[in-house]
Chain A
């Protein structure tokens, strides 16, 4: 255990636990762990005020590797546990680390309600589009036709878009990044940490054993610039190697256009607005799928709304102002009482 110390500048090292990391060599989870360990010392929060809560799955081993408070709980329930913790202890910085199976299959209900309530949690979903810990079954984000051990003839289930699901549930901060683009991952995580309210980050992550290369188009140098759309607030939607491709609206449909030479101009393109109170634009972007459209990375939505924990504190304060601090003797003597003798 560590020394009790006055606030000194923390480093990445301070957030590394003494446990051996047991992910497969080459797993994308390593990069996410390293980025978060690098980010936390920059936030100005004492180390003891961080709590990492996870469920079950490869990604859920995460808390063991962080030298913070942490709980490796049960499958899918981390958002519910984290919500209770945050409501009981609003001063803590509470993080949930989850996976596509944990958050979207067994824990789908808790996931959407955490988004809906806007509890001040950071929810990091490592999406490798496969079940790793149970050795290779299709997940709620596996593409249709995916052949796995439980779908030898190909999956017939349609996949979820985690970003669309979070937006549909009313999330106030929604972002997406990939495990191999470290500067982008770092900046998205920093934005999530700074957000007040439920901050949801989907990280496209490679499972080297059971689904290797699932995100290759987005990560390989040769293809990535044409396959992804880097979102920037206030900027038109432009992508491509050069970059000379843009997204224009054709009615309610997105249309890819080539810029320049009188074909299309930047002025015609959709401009990203992550602060729009209406989540329509964010939802529109969440529908972009490869190969027809570039996959958006970055912040889809970031709006400030009262958080569940703030509102809860407010209710208590208002009630105490109106009624005064409750006294047990008065409470017991409430209602109709009568005296005998």
Chain B
């Protein structure tokens, strides 16, 4: 028979992943799991501006707590995600979003990875073609064929 202590330990181990998810936000969860998921997603998208490399979901700075409260209240009022993002950027600028918006001023930013890959490919193709051509141009005897 398995001892009670072992059972308890097993149950606690099962709860471990949930423990980390709820550690920061001490507020009660939304009753609707879908709402709670939306809330957590939004919190992960928004930057805590005092701690900068943490989202407001990860940080327990006072400002992060206050911003989570704003998100929670706007959601309770029935606001959609776009409204909440616009609320935050109107006050804190695009920097508050972990993912910068797609706008004319950020086209270069978004296109940069693709552009860099294209430049790399172009360079590779040019180099390979030139090497191939220089091989063709070489005199026959250099290819190891011995004259009779």
Question: Do A and B belong to a common assembly?
Answer: no
